[in-house]
Chain A
């Protein structure tokens, strides 16, 4: 028994050592600490940035020629540009650059930097480049299309007279952000316009600089002392990679972070009663939808498509599974966009769906599969839909998969139904019309593969209508065109559009001034105080 007692003694000592209290530090008063799953960051070069997290970082570290009011996106104003004039023929826009503003490096921002940034993005031709190249720009002609006309002026030329708002909104996207030519070109190698360097470094003029990106670990930003606007109250902003929502909640409750970005419905319920914390919400542009592949013999019947729109319990899903992280929305343009259609004609109506199925010649239903991302929320929505579909006799098998895996299958048009989420690329209605309502070539080797293509939906007439809306200069007329387009799309398309996303953020009560904008690069912490 002697060794027994000794053992117990040793174990108790070990446990006391384990239990030695470790003071948890409060977050420093001049540092904002956010917990977010940041493993989607693959580049910090504005010419390549396209992911949510990186967009937000760029939005706070770089500036574009122009910006808009996140509360009312129709108010467009100059940032790097002081003003602009649209040529009478609508084929070019002349920008005048504000004088005396600086990059974080101390270099002055001139028209040369703007021209460099835009031509660089086109020549590098990374994923978001199409936002600029859709105006007829390419690597060969861009030097003639984006031209410096003076130290503080430049012309942006296009191949057609596009709707001015379309062009301006596209220039607010991250791909149009202005980079410091001198700094970037100091790091050029093999004619890469400094791309190898910039993808992990920084050369901008926004309120914060990017000091460090440690993949899967943290992003550290610091106040830009050369920023021309009001100096941000926070000296440092740190994103910590905390993939798990439950972990974020614990950190937030303890005060080890100031803001939690990936709270699930469960965590939000748990936090609601905590008076030290506040939940902020902001409508985002992302749309949740089902894509019904028209290669499937059942799904290609118009009445079946219509029936499926009556077999989703929209409101219940929004209230329970998503707990306020979405609102019901049934048209392809999110609320807040020019010409958004906010009618919600569909609700769960099994009897009506059964009638439609009978009219389609499948009164007893049929069996289909749905490729479902294995995240708790998407899986939850999918299971709810599976149940309501079953009420009308449609057997829906869920095929769970990782994000990239389901996406690979969707892009190859090998799915029956895909449950997806689509975020607009810029603030103009064309961004979603382009993908939901245009399909110029439905062949397998088509050059462009929008969502309509992925679901094999042949729509030559609707494509023409969407194309016409792009060239309408009058904003009111243009909005009218999009509403008409959505009304038709809502009834006939193979897209069951269900929800618009609401971004939710949990913050400590003392943190104030965080702005949640309609897209991630509008989220701003430049004015945050604590």
Chain B
């Protein structure tokens, strides 16, 4: 980035911008290529015969051989990869052997379910995790701090599968506060048109409030669970960032100047702690967006995690590679966004750029 400072004379703003863009694109392209090569190789090393998913266990030799050739498995590895790569460049991710649909369509169907769950989850995790972390930092060593620590520890170490079933048993089966597994009750299934695939947004935009409520009832438990997990991490990190800030001299100065304590904590200190926190939240969000296989299984949530696992177990490599690309794109995208947010939150970063 320093190139902009040394060479960027007046009137040549275009060049550094172009240079930055090219550099960025090259990095992204290389990242994706690397991802694809590794995933492709893993797919070939996995001791699962991909033809089995296509023809099953009972197929005759002629049927098997035909499918083997159709999948291009008779060609050398580099040729298979090259064919795949050239297809991707035209926007064709191939067809899934399992769902018999274009990977692009499959991802467009399963990904929104995961996005919706992950977004509600990260909102819960952040909105609770940050204040709780701040609180724990302020009351360091006190009861509150201990309670938060224990809660965080449980959130970190309890198996999500078990917590999910327990949550269903208590909140769905016994108390009937929330809806059961799945994204929506059958009764509402056909009352809304899926435009974005994000059911909360779709139902709200179509004014179907009864459906919205039902969808909310379905999403809240798995999202809280995922939220709890990210909260555990986010609150721990907030606490340590805050402790770091609260020891700084500007806090002492502010206190001496008589700034109210709430302002010192929530405005002065948190604002500075927020900079590294953005990365923490972004990474937590990216993790949730990969799709949590176990949560999706327990809650029968038709998301990316289930799709990816099922594809992997059947060596449906087109689907696996397609999902890898999407997940790679998420990480790259969220990294970019948190870089941009750094600039907004931290004047020092802004000036350097």
Contact = CB atoms under 8 A, between A and B. Distances in A.
14 contacts: A22-B214, A22-B218, A27-B186, A127-B58, A129-B60, A216-B310, A240-B300, A241-B302, A244-B300, A251-B181, A254-B173, A408-B47, A446-B61, A448-B60
A251 B300 CA distance: 11
A458 to B, nearest CB: 19
Question: Which of A216, A448, A449 has most B Cβ within 10 Å?
Answer: A216
Interface stretch (B79-87, B97-105, B274-282): B97-105
A58 to B, nearest CB: 15
A244 B298 contact: yes
Interface in A18-48: 18-22, 24-25, 27-28, 31, 33, 35, 39, 42-43
Given A216-B310, A240-B300, 7 more contacts: A3-B266, A18-B178, A24-B176, A404-B52, A407-B49, A407-B57, A447-B60
B98 A28 contact: no
A522 B34 CA distance: 50
A126 B97 CA distance: 14
B220 interface: yes
Interface string A209-247: 000001111000000000000000000001011111011
A128 B56 CA distance: 9
A125 B128 CA distance: 58
A449 B61 contact: yes
Interface of A: 2-4, 7, 10-11, 14, 18-22, 24-25, 27-28, 31, 33, 35, 39, 42-43, 50-51, 125-130, 133, 199-200, 214-217, 238, 240-244, 246-247, 250-251, 253-254, 256, 402-405, 407-409, 411, 425, 446-449
Contacts of A126: 55, 59, 63
Given A7-B131, A126-B63, A215-B99, A242 B58 contact: no
A279 B124 CA distance: 40
A18 B63 contact: no
B98 A18 contact: no
Which 9 A-B pairs give the minimum distances between C-beta atoms?
A: A22-B217, A215-B99, A127-B59, A408-B49, A217-B302, A25-B187, A242-B300, A404-B48, A127-B56
Contacts of A42: 53-54, 97-100
A472 B224 CA distance: 65
A250 B310 contact: no
By size class, the interface of chain B is: 35 or more
B297 A128 contact: no
Interface of B: 46-49, 52-63, 66, 96-101, 106, 109-110, 127-128, 131-132, 135, 138-139, 144, 165, 168-169, 172-173, 176-182, 185-188, 213-214, 216-218, 220, 224, 262, 265-266, 297-300, 302, 306-307, 310, 313-315
A214 B186 contact: no
A517 to B, nearest CB: 20
B256 to A, nearest CB: 21
A24 to B, nearest CB: 6
Question: Which of B53, B144, B300 has most A Cβ within 10 Å?
Answer: B300
B135 A4 contact: yes
Contacts of A215: 96, 98-101, 106
A21 B110 CA distance: 28
B302 A405 contact: no
Nearest to A243: B297
Nearest to A21: B177
B230 to A, nearest CB: 15
Contact of A22 (B173, B178, B298): B178
B315 to A, nearest CB: 7
Nearest to A431: B58
Contacts of A238: 186
Contacts of B220: 18
A24 B185 contact: yes
Contacts of B135: 3-4, 7
A238 B307 CA distance: 20
Contacts of B297: 243-244
Contact of A50 (B58, B60, B132): B58
B58 to A, nearest CB: 6
A250 B169 contact: yes
A28 to B, nearest CB: 6
Nearest to A446: B61
B63 to A, nearest CB: 6
Question: Which of B97, B173, B299 has most A Cβ within 10 Å?
Answer: B173
Contacts of A129: 60, 63
A284 B17 CA distance: 69
A256 B106 CA distance: 27
